[in-house]
Amino acid sequence: EAGVAQSPRYKIIEKRQSVAFWCNPISGHATLYWYQQILGQGPKLLIQFQNNGVVDDSQLPKDRFSAERLKGVDSTLKIQPAKLEDSAVYLCASSTGPRNTEAFFGQGTRLTVV
């Protein structure tokens, strides 16, 4: 079974530029998560989708971050404009359902904002 795919693996941008990350969850997984993990910290949930609807985006900085999951499969996370403090690993995860189910993580995208 293929795992959660993310791209790119690494990205370096200058502050105020924009960037987008892509995630393809495990086939059949209805729930998709985007997490931000700053070095030395635990993953922080940015947004959670159930199919193509948002079920939690309470910690998403909506003035600069946006995410979509058109057709309920792939998802993109965008940052515009980026700030230095956005440097982190962005992890995508998926699960079969929105509650009480194991989350499978992708390898992540390491973003460096300079």
Q: State the residues that interact with other proteins by CB under 8 A.
A: 33, 35, 41-45, 48, 50, 55-56, 58-59, 91, 93, 98-100, 102-108
Neighbours of 6 (CB within 10 A): 23
Bridge partners (DSSP) of residue 112 are 12
Residues 6+ apart with CB under 8 A from 5: 23, 24, 106
Q: Which is nearer to other proteins, 17 or 50 (CB)?
A: 50
Q: Which is nearer to other proteins, 61 or 98 (CB)?
A: 98
Instruction: Give least dist CB 80 to other proteins, A.
Output: 24
Instruction: Give least dist CB 109 to other proteins, A.
Output: 11
What is the residue-wise DSSP string for 26-44?
Answer: -TT--EEEEEEE-TTS--E
Q: Which is nearer to other proteins, 93 or 111 (CB)?
A: 93
